[in-house]
Amino acid sequence: MIRLGLTGGIGAGKSTVAKTFVERGAYIIDADKIAREVVEPGSEGLAALVEAFGPEILAADGSLDRPALAAKAFVDDASRQTLNGITHPLIGARTQALLDDAPADAIVVQDIPLLVENHTAPFFHLVVIVYAEADVRLHRLTTMRGVAEADARARIAAQATDDQRRAVADVWLDNSGAPEDLAASAARIWDERLVPLELNVRARRVAEPVPGLVASEPSPDGPSARLVNRLWAVAGELATAVDVTDAAAVELQVTARDAGAAEGLVDRLADGGFAPAGSDLYGSCDPGRPATVRVVVG
């Protein structure tokens, strides 16, 4: 199983990519859908919100009145923390339950609008960013979704910048054109990158690089910086350092805490997308992102 993080600015066209992936067999986990489910009428989450913020946050039919909740929950940091303290654990538990139910050979696509803002990119095998210029997104929001222009501009401004998204992107899908063009690009990524990546992770096999995919690297700084963060997420407490030894060749080094930790890293790196490739060496399972990782004992 591999986990893919899917995100993009509001109005960028993320739903088109998600639909394409689902049509090709993705196991989808929609963060927005989960956030709604955990506060449905009769739920533990809604009861906790009413206790914290009062019955005024309920609509006439007993469902959550989101504007009324926002008026109370976003007045100060303490109220916001109360809201997050109620909803985030419930969302996390439901997400984990869905992950636990995923088939062993699944390509799990986690659709998360605030993936970049929440700093969760390192915890995925791959991150796909759907991009469209701000004026294109503004036009879509105001004409297709009926959002007031001032509100649309505020929502766009409150989200991550394009540079922040590029820094965590393994795949950058440009949606400046027609929806069918975006769907075709997403289908190619699925067929040429995601399917081989999942197979390679399951087989613990180093990928054969696909030149066209490698050439589409989204970040001008290359993949090394985000791979440092990903390797930290994979290694956790077993590592004392993660360093780039050759940025051009995408070679990195993980310093294990001790010999036992180095042994424990074998499975963690393989499950995280870096298959054994020789004595203390590991290679990327991703055909679009060649990388070599050496493990040393500190």
pLDDT tens per residue, range 228-264: 999 999 999 999 999 999 999 999 999 999 999 999 9
Phi, psi of 152 (to 5 degrees): -60, -45
The reply to whether 72 sits in an annotated binding site is no
pLDDT of residue 67: 87
Q: Which CATH number goes with the domain that contains 75? A: 3.40.50.300
- Domain co-membership, 129 together with 239: no
pLDDT in tens, 70-90: 888 888 889 989 999 999 999
- Domain co-membership, 195 together with 271: no
- Give the E-state strand segments of the chain in sequence order: 2-8, 27-30, 107-111, 126-131, 171-174, 239-246, 251-256, 274-278, 281-284, 292-297
In the chain, the amino acid numbered 85 is G
- Domain co-membership, 195 together with 253: no
Sign of the Cα pseudo-torsion (53, 119, 5, 185, in order): positive
Q: Does residue 249 fall inside a structural domain? A: yes
Q: What is the largest CA-CA distance in the chain?
A: 65
pLDDT of residue 216: 84
Mention every residue, 6+ apart, whose C-beta is less than 8 A from residue 26.
4, 18, 107, 108, 109, 190
Range of the domain at 271: 221-297
- Out of 200, 231, 265, a domain closes at 200
What average pLDDT does range 23-45 have in this prediction?
96
The reply to whether 62 sits in an annotated binding site is no
- Domain co-membership, 34 together with 179: yes
- Domain co-membership, 142 together with 277: no
The reply to whether 148 sits in an annotated binding site is no
Domain count, the chain: 2
- Domain co-membership, 78 together with 161: yes
- Domain co-membership, 97 together with 128: yes
The reply to whether 176 sits in an annotated binding site is no
Round to whole Å and give the CA distance between 37 and 29.
Answer: 12
Mention every residue, 6+ apart, whose C-beta is less than 8 A from residue 160.
9, 116, 117
Q: Does residue 215 fall inside a structural domain? A: no
Tokens of 27: 């196991």
- Domain co-membership, 173 together with 266: no
- Domain co-membership, 196 together with 236: no
The reply to whether 15 sits in an annotated binding site is yes
Q: Which residues of 226-265 are buried (b: 16+ CB within 10 A; e: fewer)?
A: bbbbbbebbbeebbeebebeeeeebbbbbbbbeeebbebb
pLDDT in tens, 191-238: 999 999 999 999 999 999 998 888 788 888 889 999 999 999 999 999
pLDDT in tens, 121-136: 999 999 999 998 888 8
Q: Does residue 210 fall inside a structural domain? A: no
Q: Which CATH number goes with the domain that contains 226? A: 3.30.460.10
* Average pLDDT value over all residues in the chain: 94
pLDDT at 146 over 90: no
The reply to whether 14 sits in an annotated binding site is yes
- Domain co-membership, 60 together with 91: yes
Q: Does residue 51 fall inside a structural domain? A: yes
Tokens of 249: 């060749």
